[in-house]
A and B are shown apart, each in its own frame.
Chain A
Amino acid sequence: MSKKNENRAPKQSFAMINRNYWRMFFKVVRLSPTFAIGGFLVEGVLWGINRVVNMYFTLHLFNAIDEGKPLSELLRIILYVAIWQICFQLVDKIYFQIMRPILHYRLNYNIHKELFEKAKTLDISCYDDPEFYNDFVWSMEESSERAIRVIENINKMARAAVAFFAAIAALATADTDAVVIVVLCAMGVIGCVVNHVGNKVSYMARKERTPLYRKQSYINRAYHLPDYAKEIRLSRADELLVREADENNDELVRVGQKYGVKYFLLYGLFNNVLMEVASLGITFYMFICLLRGSIQLGTFAASVGIVWQVRHSISEFVERLAKFPEHSLFLEKYYGFLSYEPKVVSGEREVDSLRSLELKNVSFSYDFSSNPKYRWHKADHVVRTVEGGKDALTGVSLKIEKGEKIAIVGYNGAGKTTLIKLLMRLYDPTDGEVVYNGRPLPEYRLDEYRDKIGCVFQDFKLFDASIAENVMGGDYDAERDGERVKEALCAAGFSDKLATLSAGIDTHLGCEFSEGGINLSGGEGQKVAIARVFARPYELWIMDEPSSALDPVAEYELNQSILEHAKDKTVIFISHRLSTTRMADRIYMFDSGRLIEAGSHEELMQTDGKYAEMFRLQAEKYK
């Protein structure tokens, strides 16, 4: 998924590319000066010098032979070079193979820490914006790798530049004439121009290819993910996939051939062939100079190596230059992410104990593009989400008093889950306000407020950690919390399973990186998630379909257990199964984002509205 939206890349100006680049460079300098400066000195300067040394060495040696210098002097030159090589290799290897990996991990850690801290403050609505989310995932996956490549890129360009100019200087100080130097410089210029034009072509080609690659990787996935395996075996769906693959392949051929001609003219003729011809031309020209006696034999022999060196430097430089836009594109997203300002911000007020929680005429829409509160950093992004332009909630008012047991019911898509997200302040309402103890919710400290709420989500997640840590939410101390965790698990109906685990509550969940970890079934996992609510003294419990993965018996037991433990708590239930709602003090019935009925079970049955109809429909089948 990481490179998915490369094709939507905005065109970047040169200045922008530059700015992004240097910003990253200085960031690395700040985070790890040893990494940045050490890298530049070794990878850039030292390597550049090494090439210079090798070049001057050949030139010097050949001319010395030509001039008939004594053997001892020639051997001395070789000795000096040997000493240089020994020192150079030693420094190079110590830096690259011992120091650099360590610095690498340190830098990696620092960069990720910053990203993670930022990710935590991100509004949950960001996850609903596919555009932003893609960028976010991309930043997370690639940031440290990119930071290192930016540095590397700059170093290698420096190295190539040093070698290039040294080669020119070497030839200039020798007895060659200006023609050779001019040709070499022209080669450098052509290399850069070809690269510049080539970048544009590549950009266009990539734009056309990316969706095709995306499709291809989707088809691959459909074949190798176990999720699709049953469908593919039981139907002829593979005919469809093969059809898609065939069509996709034809498209790829078409795009490839379309750009192939351009690539040939540009890189093939202009770059490869022209460079070869130029080098051959230089050899030829110098041969003529040699015949005319204007250069020494040594210079001629050495020049073959030097010309090769120049070409190598040009292609290295150009190759590195070509990476700029690609890196910058990433950096743009990376900075966009880091500079994102959360819309749900914490207030200053201390959170006192819950007395009442009220919604006043609350509306909410997931269509963030029309909602100025949720405009992202890039205004031109068009955001479309599942619900489209429709409001998920419209004009909802309700009040929850301390100790009440509330049930929220309604059909799929009625807005139930959205409502609880607003109650938890994962979003702020588009319109209207949420009021806590008589004051607007945004006035209160966010983390303190959230600490008062225990939730079980429909799509709960367990972490790859011990059962106890999963129940306590990370902050677990065996001595302090051990008993509490066991009680909570017992209350959630997990005790039977727990008894079969030899490591008890220290059993590791998930076996991704822990040997001996176990995988729980859906129902067992849900019980662990439910235990979270029992484990801490939360004041408000929110249960979003807590029993969806449980069978009827387990569901019944769970409901009993919740009733027992929730005596003095405020509880909000969401359920499809209306059987659960009977234990609620008040029931709120939602339909298409509106609150349509409210009252106790008896009251609502008497009203004989939608709730009564829905209840009867379900009850009917049990008669």
Chain B
Amino acid sequence: MGKKEKKKKLPLGRTLSNNIFALRQVWEGSRSYFFMYYFVTVLNAPLNFLLTTYLVRAIVDSVSGTGWSTAEVFRYIFIVGGAAIVIWTLSNYYWNVPSVKANRQIQHRLKKKLYKKATEVELACYEDPSFYDKYVKAMDEVTSRVYDVMSTLDNLIWTLTSLSLNSLLLFTIDPLLIIFAILPLVMGFVRHWGQVIYHGWQMAGKPSDRKYNYVRRTFYLSDYAKEMRLGRFSEQQLSMLADVRNEKTKLCGKHGTKFALSSVLYEYGMQTVTVLGAMAYSLWRTLGEGQGSMTPGDCIVVLTSIGNVSYMLSRVVQNFAEFSEHSLYIENVRYFLDYQPTITEDESAPEASAGDVEIKNLHFKYNNAEKESLAGVNITVRKGEKIALVGRNGSGKTTLVKLLLRLYDPDEGEVLLDGKSAKEYRLSSWRGLFGCVFQDFKLFAMTVKDNVLLRREEQGDDERVDAALKASGAYEKVATLKNGVDSILTREFDDEGVNLSIGEQQKISLARVFAADAPFVVLDEPSSALDPIAEHKMFENMLKATEGKSVIFISHRLSSAVLADRVYMMEDGAVIEEGTHASLMEKGGKYAEMFRLQAENYKEGEKDE
């Protein structure tokens, strides 16, 4: 996945709208949560100012005899302090208790939105690395990013409120102090420069990071364990690790120095020049030539709050940078949510029902492929027929099945059901026509029953599941499990879960086909993980259970092709031979050759070397 992450800048409008999008997710999820989030901040920021900077000033002035009387100060402390305690308590309560539910509601709503979309995008998207990348990122980060936007906005509100209150105070003391606010703003650019350097540093290290992660995986994944012990791979992997270290060290020299320079400059500007400068200035105003233009109380206020002001100014700059950072991630989420799938569900389209399927002149090329996987395939499956698709690896058998199921749409040609294009039917009903077992089937970490039904349970499903398990040959095994059909598969998150062997898993996935009771059955090498006896039984059962249904099956083992009403032999994305087993054998073409090759070894007695 040679993904190159270029940090692209989004236009200002888009940045804004992305952040608003994130805020809207929270707002729509729970209005009270959204309201409380900012309401508390709006109250807290002034309270904090009133109880620190402003209070100190009041007290100093009161003691110096230039401000409030002692009683007034007392009253001030009791009123503002009392209000603060109430607000602190309530907000702490809200954040720990009632907010939990609202918070989950927001996250859950968002997740479900993504889940729904995930089932809609077509399979081809999974093969487009850049789309897939965005998709995975969207899934992983969406909730945390949405909250990041909330908190950045919160920070901004807090900072701006405190900043304006503090600045107002400073401005009333001496308008000229405004000069010291300008430098921190300029320093924002230095900071930005530093971030650009840092980002470049990170990006330059990405290839090494990938290498490093890979090396690490080869050491701990059980898939590699045998090879690591028997071959000499481990030395090679270790030397790769040393390469990573050296590459990284080189990068530190190159980028680290520049980054350090930018940080030092920034700190000098913010701390040394601005803060100490403002202090020196106000001391001079108080005690120097312009003596008396500032009271000692004012001077102390300047000294305590100037540091805060400078810090807050840099925070504001930082906050805006954060917004544009968040926006880049939100962009992925929106890209994904706004994506318009090309294979869509049209609820007004007619329902499909069993009939004759005709595949006409089908052409298809995978996104990144050079060559067409299907180059003009014609196949007819009449109602109730058993069809075998055979051919060497990579001849396009599985691709054909995927197109038949409308997991992809063809580049050219079409699939017809009773003479009408598949696209004219409602998608879900079209797919519902087929019961499939794939070579790379997957079981879910749920109960056996769920895995067989693959939908919510309805009445009478118990019998249906039992029958399906019996038909697929998995019943005996399931019956030995402690919880029977309610046993949870895999130990993914249940320690009581059951790990089944590959062969047994395949039987469960086969049971899905029987349980779905679809008019078409598609089996893509359903027997590859089964031993010969189990395979034999499975085919017998399959024939029994699928009487009257159309069956399309793919198998390497040509012995099963004998059972088919018609065999299609594929090569390089095209059908090269078709007919019954007998007629193909008679013809003596490629099929016959392949069949003989396999059969040869089973001829008893005459052992041929």
Given A220-B139, A261-B97, A273-B92, 13 more A-B residue pairs with CB atoms under 8 Å apart are A58-B304, A98-B253, A124-B226, A127-B222, A235-B455, A242-B115, A245-B111, A267-B96, A297-B300, A412-B534, A463-B233, A473-B231, A576-B532
Chain B residues with Cβ under 8 A from A243's Cβ?
A: 456
- Which of B25-33, B147-155, B234-242, B372-380 interfaces with chain A? B234-242
Residue B126 lies at the interface, judged by CB distance under 8 Å to chain A: yes
Contact B602 A62 (CB under 8 A): no
Q: Determine the distance from Cα of A546 to Cα of B263 in the docked complex, in whole angstroms.
A: 59
Interface string of A84-95 (1 = CB under 8 A from B): 011001100110
- Which residues in chain B, 62-85, are within 8 Å of chain A measured between CB atoms? 63-64, 70, 73, 77, 81, 84-85
Given A230-B407, A300-B59, A513-B214, A93:B267 Cβ within 8 A: yes
The answer to whether the Cβ of B192 comes within 8 Å of any Cβ in the partner chain is no
A120 x B228 contact (CB < 8 A): yes
Q: Is the CB of B241 within 8 A of A109?
A: yes
Let me know if A355 is at the binding interface, CB within 8 A: no
**Complex contact A511–B2 (CB within 8 A):** yes
Nearest first, the 5 A-B pairs at minimum CB distance are A579-B601, A621-B559, A268-B92, A473-B231, A619-B602
Known contacts A101-B252, A106-B245, A268-B93: does B286 contact A512 (CB below 8 Å)? Answer: no
Quick check: is A548 within 8 A (CB to CB) of the other chain? yes
Which B residues are in CB contact (< 8 Å) with A455?
226, 230
Mark out the residues of chain B between 377 and 411 whose CB falls within 8 Å of any chain A CB in the assembled complex. 391-394, 402, 405, 407
A236 vs B233: C-alpha distance when bound (angstroms) = 44
Q: Considering only CB atoms, which chain A residue lies closest to B230 in the complex?
A: A450
Chain B residues, Cβ within 8 Å of A264: 92-93, 96-97
Residues of chain A within 8 A of B607, CB atoms compared: 582, 601-602
Establish whether residues A273 and B263, one from each chain, have CB atoms under 8 Å apart when the complex forms: no
**A553–B230 touching, CB < 8 Å:** no
A237 close to B220 (CB less than 8 A): no
Given known pairs A268-B92, A412-B503, A622-B599, the reply for A473 and B232 (CB within 8 Å) is: yes
Q: Which of A386, A424, A511 contacts B499 (CB 8 A)?
A: A386
Residue A411 at the chain B interface, CB threshold 8 Å: yes
The contact of A113 among B238, B304, B529, B594, by CB within 8 Å, is: B238
CB–CB A231/B264 < 8 A: no
Q: Are the C-beta atoms of B96 and A464 separated by less than 8 Å?
A: no
Say yes or no: A576-B70 contact (C-beta < 8 A), given A70-B287, A218-B493, A553-B597: no
Contact of A62 (CB < 8 Å), options: B222, B228, B280, B300: B300
| CB-defined contacts of A98 to chain B, threshold 8 Å | 252-253, 256-257, 260
A127 touches B268 (CB 8 A): no
B238:A242 contact, CB within 8 angstroms: no
20 cross-chain CB contacts under 8 A: A78-B276, A93-B263, A93-B267, A116-B234, A211-B493, A228-B442, A231-B444, A234-B431, A260-B100, A268-B92, A284-B81, A301-B60, A304-B304, A412-B530, A412-B534, A426-B226, A513-B214, A551-B392, A618-B559, A622-B598
Contact between B271 and A238 (Cβ–Cβ < 8 Å)? no
Kindly state whether residue B169 has any CB partner on chain A within 8 Å: no
* Interface of chain A, main secondary structure: helix
The residue from B60, B227, B560 contacting A461, defined by CB atoms under 8 A apart: B227
Interface of B is mostly: helix
Q: B96 to A424, Cβ gap below 8 A?
A: no
Check: B587 CB closer than 8 A to any chain A CB.
Answer: no
Closest CB of chain B to A416's CB: distance in Å? 10
Rounded to whole Å, the gap between the CB of A597 and the closest CB of chain B is 15
A211 to B222, CA, bound (A): 24
Q: Which chain A residues numbered 187 to 209 have a C-beta less than 8 Å away from chain B? A: none
Tell which of A78, A215, A235 touches B493, judged by Cβ atoms closer than 8 Å: A215
Give CA–CA (A450, B268) in the complex, Å: 63
Contact with A along B127-147 (1 / 0, CB 8 A): 100001001100110000000
B317 to chain A, nearest CB (A): 19
CB distance from B308 to the nearest CB of A (A): 10
Query: How far apart are B356's CB and chain A's nearest CB, in angstroms?
Result: 21
Other-chain residue from B127, B233, B245 in contact with A474 (beta carbon distance below 8 A):
B233
State whether the Cβ of A252 lies closer than 8 Å to any Cβ in chain B: yes
- Given the complex, which residues of A lie within 8 Å of B531, measured CB to CB? 410-412, 576
Considering the complex, which residues of chain A in the window 34-59 have a beta carbon less than 8 Å from any beta carbon of chain B? 58
Closest-by-CB residue of A relative to B594 is A552
Q: In the complex, which residues of chain A have a beta carbon less than 8 angstroms from the beta carbon of B455? A: 235-237, 239-240
B176 within 8 A of A: no
- B59 CB contact (under 8 Å) in A124, A249, A290, A582: A290
Q: Is B393 a contact of A231 with CB atoms below 8 Å?
A: no
A93 contacts B252, CB within 8 Å? Answer: no
Q: B103 to chain A: closest CB distance in Å?
A: 8
Distance in angstroms from A278 CB to nearest chain B CB is 12
Q: List chain B residues, Cβ under 8 A from A297.
A: 60, 63-64, 296, 300
By CB atoms of chain A within 10 A, which of B249, B531, B536 has the most?
B531
Q: A82, B272: Cβ atoms under 8 Å?
A: yes
Residues of A within 8 A of B284 (CB): 71, 75
Q: A222 near B: Cβ within 8 Å?
A: yes
Q: Is the CB of A231 within 8 A of B441?
A: yes
What is the distance, in angstroms, from B339's C-beta to the closest C-beta of chain A?
14
Q: Is A586 among interface residues, defined by CB-CB distance under 8 A?
A: no
Q: In the bound complex, how far is the Cα of B296 from the Cα of A412, in angstroms?
A: 90
A58 lies within 8 A of B303 (CB)? yes
A580 CB within 8 Å of chain B: yes
The complex places the Cα of A112 from the Cα of B85 at a distance, in Å, of 51
Interface check B353, CB cutoff 8 A: no
* A227 contact set on B, CB distance < 8 A: 440, 442
Q: Does A374 contact B (CB under 8 A)?
A: no
Report how far A85 CA is from B107 CA in the complex, Å. Answer: 45
- A236 vs B458: C-alpha distance in the bound complex, in angstroms? 13
Q: Which residue of chain B has the shortest Cβ distance to A118 in the bound complex?
A: B219
Q: Determine if A224 and B230 form an interchain contact, defined as CB atoms under 8 angstroms apart.
A: no
Task: Choose one: A219, A236, A244, A605; the contact of B454 (CB below 8 Å).
Answer: A236
A124–B252 touching, CB < 8 Å: no
Which listed residue (A101, A413, A424, A512) contacts B210, Cβ 8 A?
A: A512
B416 at the A interface (CB under 8 A): no
> A308: nearest residue on chain B (CB-CB)?
B52
Q: Which residue of B lies closest to A71 (CB)?
A: B287
Contacts A238-B119, A622-B559 given; indicate if A75 touches B283 (C-beta within 8 A).
yes
Contact B304–A301 (Cβ < 8 Å): yes
Q: By the criterion CB–CB under 8 Å, are B558 and A552 in contact?
A: yes
Asked if B595 is at the interface of the complex by the 8 Å CB criterion, the answer is yes
* B173 interfacial contact with A, CB 8 Å: no
**A455 vs B230: C-alpha distance when bound (angstroms):** 8
Contact B597 A105, beta carbon cutoff 8 Å:
no
How far is A96 from B100 in the complex, measured between Cα atoms in Å? 38
Residue of A whose beta carbon sits closest to that of B2: A515
- Any A CB within 8 A of the CB of B9: no
Interface locus among A135-143, A319-327, A435-443: A135-143
State whether B304 touches A305 (Cβ < 8 A).
Answer: yes
Q: Choose from A65, A102, A238, A249 the contact partner of B249 (Cβ within 8 Å).
A: A102
Mask of B276-312 contacts with A, CB within 8 angstroms, 1/0: 1001100110111000000010011001100000000
Q: Which listed residue (B81, B260, B530) contacts A94, Cβ 8 A?
A: B260
A78, B279: Cβ atoms closer than 8 Å = yes
CB-CB under 8 A for A124 and B229, given A513-B214, A617-B533: yes
The CA of A120 and the CA of B225, in the complex, are separated in Å by: 8
A475 within 8 A of B: yes
A372 at the interface (CB under 8 A from B): no
Residues of B within 8 A of A246 (CB): 108
Judge whether A338 is part of the interface by a CB distance below 8 angstroms.
no
What sequence of 0s and 1s flags, for each residue 417-456 of chain A, a beta carbon within 8 Å of any chain B beta carbon? 0000000101000000000000000000000001001010
Cβ–Cβ contact B229 & A621, under 8 A: no
Q: What does the 1/0 interface line of A455-484 toward B look like (CB < 8 Å)? A: 101011101110001001111000000000
**Which of chain B's residues has its CB closest to A214's CB?**
B493
Residues of B within 8 A of A238 (CB): 115-116, 119
CA distance A542 to B77 in the complex (A): 85
Residue contact B536 to A617, C-beta cutoff 8 Å:
yes
Minimal Cβ-Cβ distance residue in A for B493: A214
B115 to chain A: which residues have CB within 8 Å?
219, 223, 238, 241-242, 245
